[in-house]
Amino acid sequence: MSPSQSFPGPHPSSIASFPQQTDTTRETSLSAQRIILLYQGLPAALIAGSGCALALVFVNWPVLPHSGLLAWLAYQLILATGRYGLARSFKAKTLTPAVVLRWGRAFVVGTAMAGLGWGAFAVFLFPDSSPTHQVFLAFVLGGIVAGASSTLAARFDAFLSFGLPTLIPLVSRFLTLGQEHALIMAVCAMLYSILLAYTALRMSNTIGEALRLKDNNARLVDQLAAQLQEGEQTELLRTVNSDHHRFIMEYAQDIIYRTDRSGRFTFINPAVIRLLGYHETEMLGHRALDSCIRTTAASQSISTCGNFCGTLPAPITSSR
């Protein structure tokens, strides 16, 4: 599934084609796109998390109760399997922005449950007697949350729902130990948590700006395409009108002409040649009286001129 999905549709493909009549609709669309990004990165995150869970159990196997480790591992694997099924179902659904938002709530619930699972290890399976295993636990939980700052950055609340229940129990356990090295670890874990939260927030804002920019670009492309199509239709209409006008001029049975302000012909149609016998080269640029002048006697010229001028109809188009 691409993060650029269009809705509705069984396999959405364009992020920017959500309905965008209002600002509220647009924000809903952008929120849905964030959720798509979350589900897109979920399978890889689940694989990495399951691997870390197995490593944590393996390293702590000699120092912690086996039943507790196996129960915790079973919880993590069952939850990972369920979240993977959720991602598969999301991909197969026919989606609209409103539906995606509901799936977003399910995603946040899943991340919160995963965070509680990781935090539960620090509460119930904390290796009090082994500073080395404590450091390893802090390393694993810190790495898991660091990865979440990237995979969950599309929605900052999703990151918080995972990061807080994962790291707060760890910091609390270090503080309750009352040892110098544990206090240092607690301070370092708190500073690390603040840094990760800041990083996730900045990445979330960056993703939001990128989605808005992509949405604006897509809307601009749609507008340009519409304008181009409108221009093509206008040009086609102009061509049709021009061909229609030319057909009328050429095949009209009546005389059609146009003159300028001084009375000189600027246009004549072929009917002039058929009805009066004058070629257009004899009339264009001349007045009507000029066209009547012959090389015959003055009386004959006046007679011909009168006949010609009496034959011409009134202009059907206004003189310029």
Lowest mean pLDDT among 63-72, 113-122, 295-304: 295-304
**Taking a C-beta distance cutoff of 8 angstroms, is the pair 286, 265 a contact?**
yes
pLDDT tens-digit readout, 24-53: 787 888 888 899 999 999 999 999 999 999
- Domains of the chain by residue range: 15-215, 257-311
Answer whether residue 223 shows pLDDT above 70: yes
Q: What is the pTM of this model?
A: 0.64
C-alpha to C-alpha distance for 191 and 84, rounded to whole angstroms: 32
Average of per-residue pLDDT across 228-245: 65
Average pLDDT rounded to a whole number, residues 90-109:
84
What SS3 state is found at 316? coil
User: Bigger pLDDT: 269 or 292?
Assistant: 269
pLDDT value for 233: 64
* pLDDT confidence tier of residue 289, bands split at 50, 70 and 90: low
| CA quadruple 154, 158, 160, 165: dihedral sign | negative
DSSP state string for 295-308 = SS-HHHHHHHHHHH
- 19 has a pLDDT exceeding 70: no
pLDDT value of residue 194: 94
Q: Which carries the bigger pLDDT value, residue 313 or residue 288? A: 288
Q: What is the mean pLDDT of the chain?
A: 79
Alpha carbons within 13 angstroms on the beta-carbon side of residue 52 total 24
DSSP state of 292: G
* pLDDT at 212 (0 to 100): 86
With bands split at pLDDT 50, 70 and 90, how would you rate the model's confidence at 120? very high
> 59 versus 218: which is more confidently predicted?
59
Average pLDDT on 66-87 reads 95
User: How, if at all, do strands 257-259 and 265-268 pair?
Assistant: antiparallel
**Please, which pLDDT band fits residue 249 given cuts at 50, 70 and 90?**
low
As a whole number, mean pLDDT of residues 63-85 equals 96
Instruction: Give the C-alpha separation, 316 to 267, whole Å.
Output: 12
Per-residue pLDDT, 100? 83
Instruction: Tell me the C-alpha distance between 140 and 51, whole Å.
Output: 11
- Give residue 276's pLDDT: 74
**pLDDT for the residue numbered 224:** 76
CA distances from 69 to 16, 43, 83, 173, 177 (A): 46, 24, 21, 18, 21
**Cis bond leading into 43, ω under 30°?**
no
pLDDT bin (cut points 50, 70, 90) of residue 245 is: low
Higher pLDDT pick, 152 / 280: 152
Is the pLDDT confidence value at 232 over 90?
no
pLDDT for residue 108 is more than 60: yes
pLDDT digits (tens, 9 = 90+) for 130-148: 999 999 999 999 999 999 9
pLDDT tens digits, residue range 154-211? 999 999 999 999 999 999 999 998 888 889 999 999 999 999 999 999 999 999 898 8
Q: Report pLDDT for 26.
A: 79
